[in-house]
Structure 1
Amino acid sequence: MHGPVLLSWLLAALTAAAGGHCLARLRRSPCTAHAADRPAAASRHAYESDAAEALMGFGMAAMAVSGSTVPAAVWAWLFGAPAVAFLLAAAGGPARRAHRLHHAVGGLTMTYMALAMGAGSGHGHHHPAGAGTPLLTGALLFYFGGYSLWAGVRLLGAPATAAQGAAGLPTATAGLPRACRLSMGIGMFAMLLTM
């Protein structure tokens, strides 16, 4: 990622925290807890969504700090394969199509940034500003900027409920998945801005 080192580390911390929360949700997924309370389709969707968001969060964190030290082909496979899977799943049926398309756009955007980094960096750890196609980068900035605003509005409208944490202390949980999606949308926007 091109830009100040502090920004890269802050972005990595933000997206790794979001990925960690998604991974924690994945561990106590509807497949293992409260499976009888939810329909099978909702359980599969929640598991699929948590897995995709955990991969995206940790991948964004790794890409933010490692830059072009990892070959672009590795990033392209890591994000491109799930993106294609989400595209095929979205084409296969109307259930959760918008959500799957969003994950596909995220994976394809990460692939695009990785390939632009690989093409734009000769020897250093960062790619030069202006790598990538300006029109495509602008369209993706528009998409993730709009998504971040939409996710922020949804987060503000989330009901304030509390649940008992591991230590018995109340923890606000209603907005955590939305906050993770918002932070990853902002992270994607910030990574695109530095291209």
Structure 2
Amino acid sequence: MTSLDHERKSRVAVRPLGADDVAWARELSTERWGGVVSVSRGVAHDTTALPGFVALLDGERAGVATYRIAGRECELVTLDSLREGAGVGTALVDAVAGAARAGGAARLWLITTNDNLHALRFYQRYGFDLVAVHRDAVARSRELKPSIPEIGLDGIPIRHELELDLPLDLLGLSSTRSPEC
């Protein structure tokens, strides 16, 4: 880790998502994702009803993550960073992974769509592995959330859900993560 990476990370603080963050998180989710509903594997989640974390960069809200624990698995439902390259996303995933472990989960997983190449890069650099492609799953998701656009990032048609996971016993091994994620 370079001194710049250490400086960036040290400026990021993470705290549990609180009642005073809900309006801000709702506005952010609506702006970025068309509402507070997130759909993964055929299940609609109201992200305002989920536990989560807020990242603060120099005292200002710079990101949010929500998750749900079910048995021995934890799904990272949403992750939004307002400051790319500052360590916000990494700090939020670290916090969710810690909560998952504390909640008894052995696996952290998430869904992203085939157009979200930036997310794929971030998650794979963090240490997640692509474990499934759910072909044409987004068509079914649109039944639950009609606001999902047909065309996504970089003009790529949004069609498939990509499932990534991270066994939680891998966390803590610094060699599995790039310091720049």
Query: Common fold, TM-score beyond 0.5?
Result: no
Of structures 1 and 2, the one with the larger relative CO (CA 8 A, separation 6+) is 1
TM-score by length of 2: 0.29
Larger helix percent: 1
Q: State which structure, 1 or 2, has the greater radius of gyration over its C-alpha atoms.
A: 1
